[in-house]
A and B are shown apart, each in its own frame.
Chain A
Amino acid sequence: MNHLAVSMCGLSLAVAALATPAVAQEDPAKKTQTARTFWGVSAEKFEYRYSDSDEELAVIEGDAYYGTDELKFRWLFEGEWEEAHNAWETLENQFVGQVPVDDFWDAKAGIRIDTPEGPDRVYSVLGLTGLAPYWFEVDTNLYVSDEGDASVDFEAEYELLITNYWIASATFESLVAFSEDQEIGVGKGLNSTEVGLRLSYDLIARSFSPYVGMVYERKYGDTADLAWDSGGSTEDWFAVVGARLSF
């Protein structure tokens, strides 16, 4: 309930910021002749994962935004549903405001609320997202939790066009924590990396692109020990099948 209140608060702040009238409003044609607010809903990952140890996961990674060129409000969602335990292994909601800071880069700030099976966490988020030279899509964030622990994640994606409809995408994700948060299985230092390779086909415009692929996940150091202790694995290979969605 508390988390909900926090997120609603963030939402209303962002909405208020969007509603603030811009300067130079006197020309009515600025309203009739320009398109200024936009929205979009997409799921970069919407997939089922089968691990080499017979673990099965349903994974969604998506976002929805509303806003202008100057300010967007974005809701990012990440969830991993574990079939065997009937539980959310990961369940993250981020609510961020996003502003351009360069031709190719946006800064993000907001709040992240984790409510998976087990202890919850609320984080403040400061992030950078954009397009690096040579077409690498990069997203990186600094998180500080309500327990005072800081961590950084880094994601990069590269799309290789086999044809203009068959697209191979390579992804890399990593998480580094600056302090231990044993309760949620986070050790100090490099926590984990995930490498993915997916082959998709744009079936309906860019709205529906089914794919198959594989994902390799690995945990390191103290994090790996924590996982080991709680009976989890430290290294997994997954076969994935899913679709990229965009509306």
Chain B
Amino acid sequence: MNKCILAVVLAGLMPFQVFASEYDISVDRVQIDTGDFVKEGIGYNGASPGPVLRFREGEEVTINVTNNLDEMTSIHWHGLILPFEQDGVPGISFPGIKPGETFTYQFPIVQAGTYWFHSHSGFQEPNGAYGAIVIEPEGREPYRYDREYVVQLTDKHPHSGDRIMRNLKMSADYYNRQQQTVGDFIDESGEKGFMATLRDRMMWGDMRMMKMDIEDVQGFTGLINGKGPDQNWTGLFKPGERVRLRFINSSAMTYFDVRIPGLEMTVVQADGNNVQPVNVDEFRIGVAETYDVIVHINDEKAYTIFAESMGRSGFARGTLAPEEGMTAEVPDRRDAPLLTMADMAGHVMDHGDMDGMDHGEMTDMNHGDMKGMDHSDMEGMDHGGDSLPEDPFYANGSGLIPTAANGGKFLSYQDLKAQKPLYEDREPTREIELRLTGNMERYEWSINGIKYEDADPIVLQYGERVRFKFVNETMMTHPMHLHGMWSILEVGEGKWNPLKHVVSVAPATTVYMETEVDAPGQWAFHCHLSYHAASGMFRKIVVEGGPDSPVADGKQSGNQGGES
């Protein structure tokens, strides 16, 4: 009956509302066929991925979710700005949806763009419980296209989420089949000399760290809209058309490097928010991120959408074609990248073994104008990276810095500029430092060295603008996701800094984001790698005050402090 009251209140608040639509979603056990294997999983309305939900900005949606499983479930509307009770995180937003029960979500749609939804219960999401959301804007789109497709990526694994988590806890390298071998040693000795190679192995062995620790969970089949490489999802077009592709990375663990050989892509949206168009040949999509690109196709031929995993252990493939059945060449995967000592710097700093590197100096650098950021003053540190391109969102000399397969433009976070700022630019009221921490060998992940189960919530005040400082002290890349409020990614563009819902933090880097605390209630905040979140890289955020509360105060300058 609470829902009824809420509906009445909302109806009263929005007398001019025109649209209202109702959706029914059932949560079901389904079969998932990747072409490589068939696996029991969880889906929506009888399939995984679930349906594409199409909303309109300004409408009020009612979504009835019926749980046909024999366990609790939930749906989180990833990236949507909504009342916290509708956010779908069991234990934070609501208790969850019991077996056999129907839960009715109801919230206004206050934004446009590409988003997605997924279960926030256990490992249901890696097991298949995800779908796409497309929201049509109230006004006109600021770019032209003739047709559009959702391109939803995932990393479907033959093992269930529970099994994967358990195996990683038993042995963190359980799924890593890219470890350096005797053969690699011999090859490298031939190139660099036996002693140099031995020294290199000794150095890494001394730390008990691996250069090949880029993808924790290998052995997956990359899917596009539920189809494996051999099943080849195909989107049709007519020559001369502009096609909008809404890329969503719904993977549990995998970053993808995406390209369409032969076509330039114009990135027009990131995480649902329009950005100033950037032409790229390739882009990296972090777990849970979305990028919308427009491709202008003139020739009457097929093009391959090729998404290689960041660690090159797997790939997804689809096709854009003028006719069903036409295909284009599928490229070979490139060699797996190797982490370098630069990627290890955060870990080493944490352990204080490397005196030459000054932590403070690094943060100072990032504080300033990002564009002006120059790594020349770090040249003292020998990272061994010879002529790698610069990208301030990777450690200088990092092995993870991406390059486009055709030698062209690879999208960087620093290319993302908001099309139309949502918030006025103002000084943050305080800074909260969050060190991303972990123990790879034990597969324990945490924030500031504390796992979620032992942590107090992060308390924010309604109306403040908080600057989050992420310091990645691990050698893994973490896609950090704040629920309920926008993450304004610091790229050094002031009010044009882009709004995101996931901010990827590469190893040994410091990344800043600011958040206008404009959503009362309690929210989840976590690394979106499923097995990192579940092992403790997770926090509850409590926003105190709000429109109805007398405590609310927009100007809390000088309020210092980190995690409470």
Contacts and interface: CB of A to CB of B under 8 A. Distances in A.
A162 B182 contact: yes
Contacts of A162: 181-183
Nearest to A27: B540
B562 to A, nearest CB: 18
Interface residues of B, number: 52
Contact of A31 (B91, B207, B208): B91
A35 B444 contact: no
B485 interface: no
B166 A39 contact: yes
A33 B538 contact: yes
B169 A38 contact: yes
Nearest to A72: B169
Contacts of B376: none
Contacts of A69: 169, 442, 444, 451, 535
B191 interface: no
Contacts of B178: 164
Interface in B251-308: none
A35 B170 contact: no
Given A160-B182, A161-B181, A246-B170, A33 B91 contact: yes
Nearest to A29: B91
B501 to A, nearest CB: 18
B369 interface: no
A22 B269 CA distance: 44
B175 to A, nearest CB: 8
A165 B175 CA distance: 11
Q: Please classify how large the interface on chain A is, using the bins under 10, 10 to 19, 20 to 34, 35 or more.
A: 20 to 34
Contacts of B121: 32
Contacts, number: 111
Contacts of B526: 33
A33 B181 contact: no
Interface stretch (B404-412, B452-460, B552-560): B452-460
A175 B171 CA distance: 27
A104 B208 contact: yes
B521 interface: no
A29 B89 contact: yes
Interface in B149-180: 159, 162, 165-167, 169-171, 174, 177-180
B128 interface: no
B96 A32 contact: yes
Nearest to A68: B453
Interface in A8-57: 22-24, 27-36, 38-40, 42
B206 A33 contact: no
A36 B165 CA distance: 10
A183 interface: no
B92 interface: yes
A100 interface: yes
A133 interface: yes
B170 A36 contact: no
B453 A38 contact: no
B142 interface: no
B325 to A, nearest CB: 36
A62 to B, nearest CB: 13
B53 interface: no
A100 B534 CA distance: 20
Interface of A: 22-24, 27-36, 38-40, 42, 69, 100, 103-104, 131, 133-135, 160-165, 205-206, 246
16 contacts: A27-B540, A33-B526, A35-B122, A35-B165, A35-B534, A35-B535, A38-B165, A42-B170, A69-B442, A104-B441, A133-B206, A161-B180, A163-B181, A163-B183, A205-B159, A205-B219
Given A40-B169, A162-B182, 20 more contacts: A22-B453, A23-B454, A24-B453, A27-B91, A27-B457, A31-B91, A32-B121, A33-B90, A33-B534, A33-B538, A35-B165, A38-B166, A69-B444, A69-B451, A134-B202, A161-B179, A162-B181, A162-B183, A163-B183, A205-B159
